Structure 1
Amino acid sequence: MRVSKSNRQSQILAELNVSPSLRIAELAERLNVSTETIRRDLDELNRQGQLSRTYGGAIRALGTEPSVAERHALLVPERERIARRAMPLLASANVIMIGSGSTTVHVARRLAVERTNITVITHSFGVATVLALNPTISTLIAPGAYHGTEGATVGVHTVSFLDTFFADAAVLGASGLTEEGPTDALLDAGAVYSAMLARSARSVVVADHSKFDRVFPARYGAWKQIDALVSDTAPAGQLKAAMDRHRVTVAVG
Protein backbone atom coordinates (compact mmCIF):
# COMPACT_ATOMS: atom_id res chain seq x y z
CA MET A 1 0.00 0.00 0.00
CA ARG A 2 1.38 3.39 -1.03
CA VAL A 3 1.97 6.12 1.51
CA SER A 4 1.46 9.86 1.17
CA LYS A 5 4.26 12.13 0.00
CA SER A 6 4.88 13.61 3.47
CA ASN A 7 4.94 10.18 5.11
CA ARG A 8 7.17 8.86 2.36
CA GLN A 9 9.68 11.66 2.80
CA SER A 10 9.58 11.23 6.57
CA GLN A 11 10.43 7.56 6.08
CA ILE A 12 13.32 8.49 3.80
CA LEU A 13 14.79 10.79 6.45
CA ALA A 14 14.23 8.15 9.11
CA GLU A 15 16.17 5.67 6.98
CA LEU A 16 19.08 8.12 6.84
CA ASN A 17 19.22 8.09 10.63
CA VAL A 18 19.95 4.38 10.45
CA SER A 19 21.96 4.12 7.25
CA PRO A 20 24.37 6.89 6.18
CA SER A 21 23.54 6.40 2.48
CA LEU A 22 20.50 5.35 0.46
CA ARG A 23 19.97 4.03 -3.06
CA ILE A 24 17.03 5.04 -5.25
CA ALA A 25 16.16 1.52 -6.40
CA GLU A 26 16.09 0.17 -2.86
CA LEU A 27 13.90 3.02 -1.63
CA ALA A 28 11.47 2.60 -4.53
CA GLU A 29 11.03 -1.08 -3.75
CA ARG A 30 10.70 -0.50 -0.01
CA LEU A 31 8.13 2.28 -0.38
CA ASN A 32 6.29 0.69 -3.32
CA VAL A 33 6.67 3.65 -5.68
CA SER A 34 8.53 4.31 -8.92
CA THR A 35 12.16 5.33 -9.05
CA GLU A 36 11.07 8.64 -10.59
CA THR A 37 8.93 9.37 -7.53
CA ILE A 38 11.90 8.70 -5.26
CA ARG A 39 14.11 10.95 -7.38
CA ARG A 40 11.60 13.78 -7.02
CA ASP A 41 11.43 13.20 -3.25
CA LEU A 42 15.21 13.24 -2.92
CA ASP A 43 15.53 16.35 -5.08
CA GLU A 44 12.95 18.15 -2.94
CA LEU A 45 14.57 17.08 0.33
CA ASN A 46 17.94 18.14 -1.10
CA ARG A 47 16.58 21.63 -1.87
CA GLN A 48 15.30 21.83 1.70
CA GLY A 49 18.77 20.96 2.98
CA GLN A 50 17.59 17.79 4.71
CA LEU A 51 19.85 15.46 2.72
CA SER A 52 22.47 15.59 -0.02
CA ARG A 53 21.89 14.01 -3.41
CA THR A 54 24.45 11.65 -4.85
CA TYR A 55 24.55 9.76 -8.11
CA GLY A 56 21.92 7.05 -7.65
CA GLY A 57 20.79 8.03 -4.18
CA ALA A 58 21.39 10.32 -1.23
CA ILE A 59 23.47 10.77 1.90
CA ARG A 60 22.94 12.80 5.05
CA ALA A 61 22.96 16.57 4.65
CA LEU A 62 26.51 17.84 4.41
CA GLY A 63 26.01 21.02 6.41
CA THR A 64 27.37 19.05 9.33
CA GLU A 65 29.48 16.05 8.51
CA PRO A 66 28.87 12.63 10.04
CA SER A 67 31.74 11.08 11.97
CA VAL A 68 34.62 9.57 10.06
CA ALA A 69 33.42 6.09 11.09
CA GLU A 70 30.05 6.77 9.42
CA ARG A 71 31.72 8.27 6.35
CA HIS A 72 33.67 5.05 5.83
CA ALA A 73 30.36 3.41 4.82
CA LEU A 74 29.58 6.03 2.17
CA LEU A 75 30.42 5.80 -1.54
CA VAL A 76 32.94 3.01 -1.00
CA PRO A 77 33.33 1.95 -4.69
CA GLU A 78 33.83 5.58 -5.71
CA ARG A 79 36.48 6.14 -3.07
CA GLU A 80 38.29 2.96 -4.01
CA ARG A 81 38.47 4.18 -7.62
CA ILE A 82 39.73 7.56 -6.45
CA ALA A 83 42.48 5.88 -4.43
CA ARG A 84 43.64 3.80 -7.39
CA ARG A 85 43.62 6.84 -9.67
CA ALA A 86 45.71 8.82 -7.18
CA MET A 87 48.59 6.35 -7.24
CA PRO A 88 50.28 7.59 -10.46
CA LEU A 89 50.26 11.14 -9.06
CA LEU A 90 52.20 9.91 -6.01
CA ALA A 91 54.59 7.59 -7.83
CA SER A 92 57.63 9.82 -7.36
CA ALA A 93 56.82 10.87 -3.78
CA ASN A 94 58.91 9.25 -1.07
CA VAL A 95 57.74 11.43 1.84
CA ILE A 96 53.97 11.99 1.93
CA MET A 97 51.76 13.90 4.33
CA ILE A 98 48.20 12.53 4.56
CA GLY A 99 45.26 14.27 6.18
CA SER A 100 42.36 12.64 8.00
CA GLY A 101 39.16 11.48 6.33
CA SER A 102 37.56 8.44 4.76
CA THR A 103 38.90 8.92 1.21
CA THR A 104 42.44 9.51 2.47
CA VAL A 105 42.26 6.19 4.33
CA HIS A 106 41.49 4.49 1.01
CA VAL A 107 44.54 6.22 -0.50
CA ALA A 108 46.68 5.03 2.41
CA ARG A 109 45.43 1.48 1.90
CA ARG A 110 46.45 1.59 -1.77
CA LEU A 111 49.86 2.95 -0.80
CA ALA A 112 50.28 0.03 1.59
CA VAL A 113 49.59 -2.35 -1.28
CA GLU A 114 51.57 -0.65 -4.05
CA ARG A 115 54.51 1.19 -2.45
CA THR A 116 57.54 0.22 -0.39
CA ASN A 117 60.15 2.13 1.59
CA ILE A 118 58.30 5.42 1.84
CA THR A 119 57.66 7.70 4.81
CA VAL A 120 54.16 8.93 5.66
CA ILE A 121 53.45 11.73 8.10
CA THR A 122 49.85 11.83 9.30
CA HIS A 123 47.57 12.92 12.12
CA SER A 124 44.95 10.28 11.27
CA PHE A 125 44.76 7.06 13.28
CA GLY A 126 42.85 5.41 10.44
CA VAL A 127 45.60 6.23 7.95
CA ALA A 128 48.29 4.93 10.34
CA THR A 129 46.34 1.71 10.94
CA VAL A 130 46.06 0.72 7.28
CA LEU A 131 49.68 1.66 6.58
CA ALA A 132 50.73 -0.82 9.29
CA LEU A 133 49.84 -3.58 6.81
CA ASN A 134 53.11 -2.77 5.04
CA PRO A 135 56.16 -3.03 7.35
CA THR A 136 58.41 -1.21 4.84
CA ILE A 137 56.44 2.03 5.26
CA SER A 138 57.65 4.33 8.02
CA THR A 139 54.72 6.15 9.64
CA LEU A 140 55.04 9.24 11.82
CA ILE A 141 51.94 10.29 13.78
CA ALA A 142 51.58 13.94 14.72
CA PRO A 143 50.88 14.66 18.40
CA GLY A 144 48.01 16.85 19.54
CA ALA A 145 44.52 16.84 20.99
CA TYR A 146 42.58 13.77 19.90
CA HIS A 147 39.38 14.55 17.99
CA GLY A 148 37.20 11.47 18.52
CA THR A 149 34.68 11.88 15.70
CA GLU A 150 37.46 12.57 13.20
CA GLY A 151 39.84 9.91 14.54
CA ALA A 152 42.76 12.32 14.34
CA THR A 153 44.92 14.72 16.31
CA VAL A 154 44.42 18.47 15.91
CA GLY A 155 45.58 21.69 17.53
CA VAL A 156 48.72 23.77 17.95
CA HIS A 157 50.95 20.81 18.81
CA THR A 158 49.90 19.02 15.62
CA VAL A 159 50.63 22.07 13.47
CA SER A 160 53.98 22.72 15.22
CA PHE A 161 55.04 19.11 14.61
CA LEU A 162 54.21 19.33 10.90
CA ASP A 163 56.17 22.57 10.57
CA THR A 164 59.39 20.64 11.32
CA PHE A 165 59.06 18.47 8.19
CA PHE A 166 58.99 18.84 4.44
CA ALA A 167 57.19 16.35 2.18
CA ASP A 168 57.21 15.54 -1.52
CA ALA A 169 53.41 15.50 -1.58
CA ALA A 170 50.35 16.13 0.57
CA VAL A 171 47.16 14.09 0.17
CA LEU A 172 44.16 15.92 1.56
CA GLY A 173 40.44 15.26 1.71
CA ALA A 174 37.69 17.87 1.85
CA SER A 175 34.17 18.30 3.17
CA GLY A 176 33.33 20.60 0.28
CA LEU A 177 34.81 22.04 -2.91
CA THR A 178 33.93 25.56 -4.04
CA GLU A 179 35.31 27.88 -6.71
CA GLU A 180 37.43 29.48 -3.96
CA GLY A 181 39.05 26.21 -2.91
CA PRO A 182 38.65 23.08 -0.77
CA THR A 183 36.88 23.48 2.58
CA ASP A 184 36.43 21.39 5.70
CA ALA A 185 33.69 21.14 8.30
CA LEU A 186 36.15 21.22 11.20
CA LEU A 187 38.13 24.39 11.85
CA ASP A 188 40.87 22.53 13.73
CA ALA A 189 41.26 19.97 10.95
CA GLY A 190 41.41 22.76 8.39
CA ALA A 191 44.36 24.29 10.22
CA VAL A 192 46.20 20.95 10.03
CA TYR A 193 45.50 20.63 6.29
CA SER A 194 46.80 24.18 5.73
CA ALA A 195 50.02 23.23 7.51
CA MET A 196 50.42 20.11 5.37
CA LEU A 197 49.79 22.16 2.25
CA ALA A 198 52.48 24.66 3.24
CA ARG A 199 55.07 21.95 3.96
CA SER A 200 54.67 19.89 0.77
CA ALA A 201 56.12 20.34 -2.70
CA ARG A 202 52.95 19.05 -4.37
CA SER A 203 49.35 18.77 -3.24
CA VAL A 204 46.63 16.31 -4.21
CA VAL A 205 43.04 16.72 -3.06
CA VAL A 206 40.98 13.52 -3.09
CA ALA A 207 37.20 14.02 -2.93
CA ASP A 208 34.13 12.38 -4.45
CA HIS A 209 31.44 14.19 -6.44
CA SER A 210 29.17 14.72 -3.41
CA LYS A 211 31.63 17.41 -2.25
CA PHE A 212 31.23 19.55 -5.38
CA ASP A 213 29.80 23.04 -4.78
CA ARG A 214 29.48 22.43 -1.03
CA VAL A 215 30.89 25.06 1.30
CA PHE A 216 32.06 24.55 4.89
CA PRO A 217 33.59 26.93 7.46
CA ALA A 218 37.31 26.15 7.03
CA ARG A 219 38.83 26.96 3.64
CA TYR A 220 42.27 25.47 4.06
CA GLY A 221 43.68 26.46 0.69
CA ALA A 222 43.04 28.18 -2.64
CA TRP A 223 43.07 26.40 -5.99
CA LYS A 224 46.31 28.17 -6.92
CA GLN A 225 47.92 26.11 -4.13
CA ILE A 226 46.50 22.78 -5.33
CA ASP A 227 48.22 20.73 -8.03
CA ALA A 228 45.61 18.04 -8.60
CA LEU A 229 42.09 16.92 -7.76
CA VAL A 230 41.26 13.22 -7.93
CA SER A 231 37.54 12.43 -8.00
CA ASP A 232 35.05 9.91 -9.35
CA THR A 233 33.39 12.56 -11.55
CA ALA A 234 34.74 15.60 -13.39
CA PRO A 235 33.64 18.94 -11.92
CA ALA A 236 31.49 21.30 -13.99
CA GLY A 237 30.29 24.90 -14.03
CA GLN A 238 32.00 27.53 -11.89
CA LEU A 239 33.97 24.92 -9.97
CA LYS A 240 35.51 23.60 -13.19
CA ALA A 241 36.17 27.14 -14.43
CA ALA A 242 38.01 28.04 -11.24
CA MET A 243 40.16 24.93 -11.41
CA ASP A 244 40.91 25.47 -15.09
CA ARG A 245 41.90 29.06 -14.33
CA HIS A 246 44.49 27.86 -11.82
CA ARG A 247 45.60 24.91 -13.96
CA VAL A 248 44.58 22.25 -11.47
CA THR A 249 44.99 18.77 -12.93
CA VAL A 250 41.77 16.77 -12.71
CA ALA A 251 42.06 12.99 -12.63
CA VAL A 252 38.87 10.93 -12.72
CA GLY A 253 38.78 7.39 -11.40
Structure 2
Amino acid sequence: MTIRVAAVQVRSTSDPAENLDIIAEQARQAVDQGARLVVFPEAMMANFTTRLAPVAEPLDGPFVQVVTGIAADLGAWLVVGMFEPAGDGRVHNTVVATDGHTLHHYRKLHLYDSFGSKESATVAPGSELVTFEALGTTIGLATCYDVRFADQFADLRRAGAEVICLPASWAPGVDKVDQWELLVRSRAMDAQAFVVGADQSGDPSATSRAPLGVGHSLVAGPLGKVVAALGAADGVLVTDIDVDLVARVREAIPLG
Protein backbone atom coordinates (compact mmCIF):
# COMPACT_ATOMS: atom_id res chain seq x y z
CA MET A 1 0.00 0.00 0.00
CA THR A 2 1.36 3.38 -1.01
CA ILE A 3 0.56 6.66 0.72
CA ARG A 4 1.60 10.04 -0.63
CA VAL A 5 2.82 12.21 2.24
CA ALA A 6 4.06 15.78 2.45
CA ALA A 7 6.36 17.65 4.82
CA VAL A 8 5.71 21.39 4.64
CA GLN A 9 8.82 23.44 5.41
CA VAL A 10 7.99 27.04 6.28
CA ARG A 11 8.84 29.56 8.96
CA SER A 12 5.85 30.47 11.09
CA THR A 13 5.33 34.00 12.38
CA SER A 14 4.23 35.29 15.77
CA ASP A 15 0.68 35.88 14.46
CA PRO A 16 -1.65 32.82 14.58
CA ALA A 17 -4.02 34.33 12.02
CA GLU A 18 -1.18 34.84 9.54
CA ASN A 19 0.01 31.31 10.20
CA LEU A 20 -3.43 29.89 9.45
CA ASP A 21 -3.24 31.54 6.04
CA ILE A 22 0.14 29.87 5.51
CA ILE A 23 -1.29 26.50 6.56
CA ALA A 24 -4.21 26.83 4.15
CA GLU A 25 -2.01 27.83 1.22
CA GLN A 26 0.70 25.23 1.79
CA ALA A 27 -1.74 22.42 2.53
CA ARG A 28 -3.52 23.11 -0.74
CA GLN A 29 -0.21 22.97 -2.62
CA ALA A 30 0.55 19.60 -1.04
CA VAL A 31 -2.90 18.17 -1.73
CA ASP A 32 -2.80 19.45 -5.31
CA GLN A 33 0.27 17.20 -5.68
CA GLY A 34 -1.69 14.24 -4.35
CA ALA A 35 -0.64 14.23 -0.70
CA ARG A 36 -3.11 12.61 1.71
CA LEU A 37 -1.07 13.24 4.88
CA VAL A 38 0.42 16.73 5.25
CA VAL A 39 2.82 17.38 8.13
CA PHE A 40 3.63 20.93 9.24
CA PRO A 41 6.38 22.04 11.64
CA GLU A 42 6.22 22.41 15.39
CA ALA A 43 5.06 25.85 16.60
CA MET A 44 2.98 26.59 13.49
CA MET A 45 0.52 28.46 15.69
CA ALA A 46 3.28 30.91 16.67
CA ASN A 47 7.04 30.58 16.53
CA PHE A 48 9.28 30.43 19.57
CA THR A 49 10.12 34.13 19.47
CA THR A 50 6.53 34.63 20.73
CA ARG A 51 5.23 34.75 24.31
CA LEU A 52 3.34 31.49 24.21
CA ALA A 53 0.82 31.79 27.06
CA PRO A 54 -1.11 34.72 25.50
CA VAL A 55 -1.59 32.90 22.17
CA ALA A 56 -2.31 29.40 23.52
CA GLU A 57 -5.83 28.06 22.92
CA PRO A 58 -7.79 24.98 23.97
CA LEU A 59 -8.37 22.24 21.44
CA ASP A 60 -11.87 23.53 20.75
CA GLY A 61 -10.58 27.07 20.13
CA PRO A 62 -10.60 28.98 16.85
CA PHE A 63 -7.11 27.91 15.71
CA VAL A 64 -7.96 24.21 15.71
CA GLN A 65 -11.40 24.91 14.30
CA VAL A 66 -9.85 26.61 11.28
CA VAL A 67 -7.27 23.84 10.80
CA THR A 68 -10.09 21.29 10.99
CA GLY A 69 -12.04 23.22 8.37
CA ILE A 70 -9.03 23.32 6.04
CA ALA A 71 -8.57 19.56 6.38
CA ALA A 72 -12.25 18.94 5.68
CA ASP A 73 -12.20 21.18 2.60
CA LEU A 74 -9.11 19.47 1.20
CA GLY A 75 -10.05 15.91 2.14
CA ALA A 76 -6.64 15.23 3.69
CA TRP A 77 -5.05 14.64 7.09
CA LEU A 78 -3.20 17.67 8.46
CA VAL A 79 -0.67 17.49 11.30
CA VAL A 80 0.05 20.88 12.86
CA GLY A 81 2.00 22.18 15.87
CA MET A 82 0.17 24.48 18.30
CA PHE A 83 0.05 25.46 21.99
CA GLU A 84 -2.63 24.74 24.62
CA PRO A 85 -2.97 26.27 28.10
CA ALA A 86 -1.56 23.81 30.65
CA GLY A 87 -3.37 25.10 33.72
CA ASP A 88 -0.26 26.08 35.68
CA GLY A 89 0.66 29.22 33.77
CA ARG A 90 2.63 27.24 31.22
CA VAL A 91 1.43 25.77 27.91
CA HIS A 92 1.48 22.35 26.30
CA ASN A 93 3.48 22.04 23.10
CA THR A 94 0.82 20.14 21.20
CA VAL A 95 0.50 18.52 17.80
CA VAL A 96 -2.99 18.08 16.38
CA ALA A 97 -3.90 15.67 13.60
CA THR A 98 -7.24 15.98 11.83
CA ASP A 99 -9.02 15.01 8.65
CA GLY A 100 -11.77 17.52 9.33
CA HIS A 101 -13.96 14.97 11.10
CA THR A 102 -11.72 13.38 13.74
CA LEU A 103 -9.16 15.13 15.94
CA HIS A 104 -6.16 13.57 17.69
CA HIS A 105 -3.63 15.44 19.80
CA TYR A 106 -0.21 14.74 21.25
CA ARG A 107 1.53 16.79 23.93
CA LYS A 108 5.32 16.84 23.64
CA LEU A 109 6.88 14.48 26.17
CA HIS A 110 10.52 15.58 26.13
CA LEU A 111 11.18 19.27 26.62
CA TYR A 112 14.18 21.09 25.18
CA ASP A 113 16.17 21.81 28.32
CA SER A 114 19.49 21.67 26.47
CA PHE A 115 22.12 23.86 24.84
CA GLY A 116 21.32 26.65 27.31
CA SER A 117 17.57 26.59 26.60
CA LYS A 118 14.90 25.67 29.14
CA GLU A 119 11.63 24.89 27.42
CA SER A 120 10.19 23.56 30.68
CA ALA A 121 10.10 27.10 32.08
CA THR A 122 7.17 27.89 29.78
CA VAL A 123 6.01 24.47 28.56
CA ALA A 124 4.52 21.60 30.59
CA PRO A 125 5.30 18.07 29.38
CA GLY A 126 2.71 15.65 28.14
CA SER A 127 2.34 12.16 29.55
CA GLU A 128 1.10 9.82 26.82
CA LEU A 129 2.16 8.35 23.50
CA VAL A 130 -0.36 8.84 20.72
CA THR A 131 -1.16 6.60 17.76
CA PHE A 132 -4.28 6.47 15.62
CA GLU A 133 -5.68 4.63 12.62
CA ALA A 134 -5.93 6.52 9.34
CA LEU A 135 -5.35 5.98 5.62
CA GLY A 136 -5.23 2.24 6.14
CA THR A 137 -2.29 2.37 8.53
CA THR A 138 -1.31 3.30 12.10
CA ILE A 139 0.15 6.77 12.53
CA GLY A 140 2.19 7.93 15.52
CA LEU A 141 3.02 11.46 16.67
CA ALA A 142 6.20 12.94 18.14
CA THR A 143 7.70 16.43 18.33
CA CYS A 144 11.18 17.82 17.70
CA TYR A 145 13.39 17.06 20.76
CA ASP A 146 11.57 13.74 21.22
CA VAL A 147 13.77 12.52 18.36
CA ARG A 148 16.72 12.20 20.76
CA PHE A 149 14.88 9.54 22.77
CA ALA A 150 15.07 6.12 21.14
CA ASP A 151 12.75 4.48 23.67
CA GLN A 152 9.84 6.65 22.61
CA PHE A 153 10.15 5.50 19.01
CA ALA A 154 10.59 1.87 20.05
CA ASP A 155 7.39 2.25 22.09
CA LEU A 156 5.62 3.69 19.04
CA ARG A 157 6.77 0.62 17.10
CA ARG A 158 5.31 -1.64 19.79
CA ALA A 159 2.07 0.35 19.57
CA GLY A 160 1.92 -0.49 15.87
CA ALA A 161 2.88 2.84 14.32
CA GLU A 162 3.98 2.45 10.71
CA VAL A 163 4.21 6.16 9.91
CA ILE A 164 5.43 8.69 12.49
CA CYS A 165 4.85 12.41 12.01
CA LEU A 166 7.60 14.54 13.54
CA PRO A 167 6.96 18.30 13.48
CA ALA A 168 10.03 20.27 14.55
CA SER A 169 11.51 23.70 15.13
CA TRP A 170 15.11 22.49 15.23
CA ALA A 171 17.20 25.41 16.48
CA PRO A 172 20.23 26.25 14.34
CA GLY A 173 23.80 25.92 15.58
CA VAL A 174 27.03 24.09 14.98
CA ASP A 175 26.42 20.60 13.52
CA LYS A 176 22.67 20.88 14.15
CA VAL A 177 21.72 19.89 10.58
CA ASP A 178 23.88 16.77 10.84
CA GLN A 179 22.33 15.91 14.20
CA TRP A 180 18.78 16.37 12.88
CA GLU A 181 19.31 14.17 9.84
CA LEU A 182 21.13 11.46 11.78
CA LEU A 183 18.52 11.37 14.54
CA VAL A 184 15.54 11.18 12.19
CA ARG A 185 17.15 8.30 10.32
CA SER A 186 18.11 6.53 13.55
CA ARG A 187 14.64 6.85 15.06
CA ALA A 188 13.11 5.52 11.84
CA MET A 189 15.28 2.44 12.35
CA ASP A 190 14.30 2.17 16.03
CA ALA A 191 10.62 2.44 15.12
CA GLN A 192 11.02 0.37 11.95
CA ALA A 193 8.65 2.89 10.45
CA PHE A 194 8.56 5.82 8.08
CA VAL A 195 9.32 9.10 9.85
CA VAL A 196 8.10 12.32 8.25
CA GLY A 197 10.20 15.11 9.77
CA ALA A 198 8.85 18.59 9.00
CA ASP A 199 11.08 21.39 10.27
CA GLN A 200 10.76 25.14 10.24
CA SER A 201 12.77 26.51 7.34
CA GLY A 202 16.14 28.05 8.09
CA ASP A 203 19.01 30.24 7.02
CA PRO A 204 21.92 28.03 5.91
CA SER A 205 24.41 30.64 7.18
CA ALA A 206 22.88 30.85 10.68
CA THR A 207 25.08 29.80 13.59
CA SER A 208 23.04 31.13 16.52
CA ARG A 209 20.59 29.07 18.54
CA ALA A 210 17.67 31.26 17.53
CA PRO A 211 14.45 29.35 18.28
CA LEU A 212 13.44 28.82 14.69
CA GLY A 213 14.69 26.03 12.40
CA VAL A 214 17.34 24.72 10.06
CA GLY A 215 15.06 23.26 7.38
CA HIS A 216 16.27 19.96 5.90
CA SER A 217 12.89 18.29 6.33
CA LEU A 218 13.04 14.65 5.32
CA VAL A 219 11.23 11.37 5.08
CA ALA A 220 13.22 8.37 6.33
CA GLY A 221 12.24 4.73 5.85
CA PRO A 222 12.25 1.78 8.28
CA LEU A 223 15.85 0.87 7.41
CA GLY A 224 17.03 4.45 7.89
CA LYS A 225 17.21 5.32 4.21
CA VAL A 226 16.35 8.90 3.24
CA VAL A 227 13.37 8.65 0.91
CA ALA A 228 13.24 12.38 0.14
CA ALA A 229 14.67 15.58 1.62
CA LEU A 230 14.77 19.37 1.30
CA GLY A 231 17.48 21.95 1.86
CA ALA A 232 17.15 24.95 4.15
CA ALA A 233 14.66 27.08 2.23
CA ASP A 234 10.87 27.01 2.22
CA GLY A 235 9.39 24.10 0.32
CA VAL A 236 6.80 21.33 0.17
CA LEU A 237 8.32 17.86 0.16
CA VAL A 238 5.90 15.39 -1.44
CA THR A 239 6.78 11.72 -1.75
CA ASP A 240 5.23 8.25 -1.87
CA ILE A 241 5.91 5.73 0.88
CA ASP A 242 5.38 1.99 0.61
CA VAL A 243 3.83 1.16 3.96
CA ASP A 244 4.04 -2.58 3.21
CA LEU A 245 7.82 -2.25 3.58
CA VAL A 246 7.33 -1.76 7.32
CA ALA A 247 5.91 -5.27 7.80
CA ARG A 248 8.69 -6.80 5.70
CA VAL A 249 11.38 -5.05 7.73
CA ARG A 250 9.80 -6.03 11.04
CA GLU A 251 9.57 -9.64 9.93
CA ALA A 252 13.19 -9.67 8.77
CA ILE A 253 14.52 -7.86 11.87
CA PRO A 254 12.26 -8.78 14.83
CA LEU A 255 13.06 -6.28 17.57
CA GLY A 256 10.18 -7.21 19.88
Which protein is richer in helix relative to its size?
1
**Is TM > 0.5 for Structure 1 vs Structure 2?**
no
Query: What TM-score do you get using the length of structure 2 for normalisation?
Result: 0.31
Choose between structure 1 and 2 for higher RCO, CA contacts under 8 A separated by at least 6 residues: 2
